[in-house]
Amino acid sequence: MSFFDRLQEATQQQRTELFNVPIIRDALEGNVSLDSYQAFLAQAYYHVRHTVPLMMACGARLPSRLEWLREAVCEYIEDEYGHEKWVLDDIEACGGDRDTVRTGRPSMAIELMVSFLYDLIARGNPVGLFGMVNVLEGTSIALATQAADSIRERLDLPQSAFSYLSSHGSLDIEHMQTYRRLMNRLEDPDDQAAVIHASNVVYRLYTDMFRGLPHDGESRHAPV
């Protein structure tokens, strides 16, 4: 079995728990309130703004034996740069206050997730950061391809309110194809264990973030 497949098998339970969170199930059916969508975007901003800094830190700490992975990190940074601005644009497009979000604080789950990843890079195995990639890109593919259009129609929001989520559908599908190839090149058992461990930790905290989003079962349209 390839390492990518072993990774999916080793994280199946945490992935199942995430997709069984009620608000995720509702999102996949397009049944999400405006408050929930705005809250999701706010939490997305709080972790997306760290993607490039985390990747930069990871690239700097990778050993020379993984130079091929450092090259991939550089390409990933180029693809991801500036995406936090997309999230703020989406927040504004659906009636939220971008400045309030930008100066606010993340939920505890996201704060812990980001802190864990920085610590993993600094004191542990930087390859573990690819556990985050496994979780966040896999989740965004599902939400983008199955939920974005339905949510937009239900809430009567403009397409401009979905630049982050919609763009990550096709982009992250491409990224996951690359990710599969990269993970299947990892041969060191410690590297593999670090990716599996980080995936499970991030799944747990990301699930907690979704559980904390407002979920009242109601939908309201964006303000005119």
115 is a domain residue? yes
pLDDT computed for residue 75 by the predictor: 93
Q: Is residue 221 part of a domain?
A: no
- Alpha carbon of 130 to those of 1, 125, 196: distances in Å? 19, 10, 9
Tell me the average pLDDT across 23-36. 87
What pLDDT, on the 0 to 100 scale, is given for residue 171?
Answer: 56
191-217 CB burial, b ≥16 within 10 A, e <16: bbebbbbbbbbbbbbbbbbbbebebee
Q: Would residue 119 count as lying in a domain?
A: yes
Question: Would you say residue 121 lies in a domain?
Answer: yes
Q: 131 lies in a domain?
A: yes
Task: Judge whether 219 lies within some domain.
Answer: no
Question: CATH code at 10?
Answer: 1.20.910.10
Q: How large a percentage of the chain has pLDDT more than 70? A: 92
Per-residue pLDDT tens digits for 129-169? 999 999 988 887 777 767 777 888 888 888 889 888 877 65
- In the three-class reduction of DSSP (H, G, I as helix; E, B as strand; rest coil), residue 222 is classed as coil
Structural domain span for residue 44: 3-211
How does the average pLDDT of the chain come out, rounded?
Answer: 90
pTM confidence score: 0.91
Residue 41 domain flag: yes
- 166-194 pLDDT, tens digit each: 776 555 567 788 899 999 999 999 999 99
Domain count, the chain: 1
Give the three-class secondary structure for 25: helix
For the chain, what percent of residues have pLDDT higher than 90? 70
Q: What is the mean pLDDT of residues 69-73?
A: 97
Whether residue 196 lies inside any domain: the answer is: yes
Round to whole Å and give the CA distance between 106 and 212: 11
The band of 32, judged by pLDDT with boundaries at 50, 70 and 90, is: confident
- Token couple for 162: 């979905």
